[in-house]
Structure 1
Amino acid sequence: MHFKKLVVVFLIFNLAFQVKAQRAYDIITKYTSFIGGADNWKKVQSIVSKGTYNYNGIEFPFTSYSKAPNLYKYIVPLKRKYFAQSFDGQTGWKIDAFKGQTNKTMLNGQDALAMMNEADVELESPFINYLQKGHVALLQGVDIVEGAACFKVLFTRRNGDSATYYFKQNNFELVKKQAPSKNTEIEKNILDTYYRDYRTVEGITIPFIQESKNNNQPVLTITIKKISINRPIADAEFKP
């Protein structure tokens, strides 16, 4: 009898898991349509963005380069110096003029992964074909974000990193991401990132404003002014 009870409990738990997973899948499918659809995103091989980077109330211009599948570079000029971070597909590096650095610091292993986590270096959204990528999504319920009812979805990547995402119920727009920060200055604190001002450029829909907060205090706001899709970028651009 004890064994039968365990089997029943397991079946109930498994069914609940499947229901949460299926509902999350449906939400993410509609979100994928909201951002332009998987087919349009598959056509995107590079994105170059220019805009402003507001860090703790101080504003700077920035340029970011993204190239399929996961090459990334971000530059912020600062009084004849610059903050930069880059990932060439295998190795990351950075220069932090905010800390007086003038030489490149190489990032390997967990440091490179941390940079990837903070920067979202993947050109294609991790939600697109996420099951084939080995990621898992589960619906956690419904919550209110800035006055809007949102689906709350726990998303766990293949490497074990998890984040909670909030999608508006009325149109499946992603409005918030909540995850432990891997930035060394606020490591392990919860970082809330809000996505706003969605615009469609050449068939894909992108948030032109991303605001990150720690304990409800603004840390970083990225505002895009211009985006170029499929502009040629040499791989050497991302090298140290």
Structure 2
Amino acid sequence: MAAEPVMASDLSAAQIAEKNADARGGLDAWRKIQTMVWVGHVESANAPAHFLLAMKRPNKTRFEITALNQMAVRVFDGSHGWKLHPSQDGKPNLQPYTMEEMQFAHDEQVIDGPLMDYQAKGIAVTLDGADEVEGHKAYRLRIRLPSGGSRLLWIDAKTFLEIRYDRESRNVLGQSHTITVFYRDYRAIDGLQIPCTIESGVATAQAKDKLVIDEVSFNPSLGDWMFAKPGTPRQDKAAVSIGAEVRPGSGGMVRRAP
């Protein structure tokens, strides 16, 4: 990314947000999406893995990742979060989210991102400058969240789609670092633009994880119990119920909804 601006800031932050909503399929169309499921695979230096991400407004999430025939699960019910990992003794290891994980989950706009309906969400957006990101001229927006946290978001000056997203985080030692996310390979699914490749990692690290979305489902029926603490009644059926909506391996992007 170039350090100096590469174009004039000829649009306001509000105008850029409006053009972004139009480019992604329109504000009204996104408002109709109450639940969404992604199924795909992970490309990384580690073992091959597959994932399933279920999202429900306003910020409920369930993320499953399976590698070497073992599944790890992260769930957030809108107020509390838990992570379930396999352990060496074969017993599942269930832990609550850390304070930072809780804050991140509270802040995320899981269905449509921070720009869509940003004023109604209590989010402030300002134009922070202009850069070049991977050969694309882009507007750099600063996102101020209701919690007081902030993010940087780059919008392609030609397509008006998100191409990069930065947020501050801390590692297990408490050291601060920047998490950088790149959005690539946008595809139109039922008129909505979805980035089918999402690459993320610490900005200073060379190795990054890449999520490749193979299948998408809009508005599948997702009960709140699917996002409850693992081990509670009906949680064991969550993966089966979600999987019934979108099945991996069918080849290509699909939409399935009631």
TM-score, normalised by the number of residues in structure 1: 0.82
Tell me the secondary structure at the aligned position of residue 12 of structure 2.
helix
Contact 2:87 2:93 in 1 (8 A): no
Tell me the secondary structure at the aligned position of residue 193 of structure 1.
strand
Separation of aligned partners in 2, 1:160 and 1:176: 21
1:89 to 75, 78, 84: 78
Tell me the secondary structure at the aligned position of residue 126 of structure 2.
strand
Separation of aligned partners in 2, 1:74 and 1:187: 25
Unaligned runs of 5+ in 2: 1-8, 230-258
1:230 to 212, 219, 223: 219
1:104 to 94, 101, 119: 94
1:156 to 144, 158, 174: 144
Separation of aligned partners in 2, 1:95 and 1:237: 14
TM-superposed CA distance for 1:46, in Å, is 1.0
Cα shift readout 1:134-176 (whole Å, capped 9, x = no counterpart): 2111111110100111111111111111111111111212110
Tell me the secondary structure at the aligned position of residue 110 of structure 2.
coil
Unaligned runs of 5+ in 1: 1-19
2:190 to 202, 209, 212: 202
Distance change >3 Å, CA 187–CA 211, structure 1 → 2: farther
Contact 1:73 1:84 in 2 (8 A): yes
Letter in 1 for 2:50: P
Cα shift readout 1:19-64 (whole Å, capped 9, x = no counterpart): x9x8111111101111111100111111111101234443300111
The count of residues paired between Structure 1 and Structure 2 equals 218
Contact 2:141 2:152 in 1 (8 A): yes
Separation of aligned partners in 1, 2:132 and 2:121: 29
Separation of aligned partners in 1, 2:129 and 2:153: 11
1:171 to 159, 163, 167: 159
Q: How does 1:3-82 map to 2 (within 5 A)?
A: 23-82=12-71
Tell me the secondary structure at the aligned position of residue 25 of structure 2.
coil
Contact 1:212 1:218 in 2 (8 A): no
Contact 1:85 1:93 in 2 (8 A): yes
Cα shift readout 1:169-197 (whole Å, capped 9, x = no counterpart): 11212110112125547852111110001
TM-superposed CA distance for 1:128, in Å, is 1.3
TM-score, normalised by the number of residues in structure 2: 0.76
TM-superposed CA distance for 1:238, in Å, is 1.0
Separation of aligned partners in 2, 1:137 and 1:124: 15
TM-superposed CA distance for 1:89, in Å, is 1.4
Separation of aligned partners in 1, 2:28 and 2:205: 37
2:122 to 131, 134, 137: 134
Which protein shows a greater Rg?
1
Separation of aligned partners in 2, 1:42 and 1:31: 14
Cα shift readout 1:59-97 (whole Å, capped 9, x = no counterpart): 300111111221110001233432211111111111234
TM-superposed CA distance for 1:109, in Å, is 4.8
Letter in 2 for 1:194: F
Separation of aligned partners in 1, 2:163 and 2:48: 23
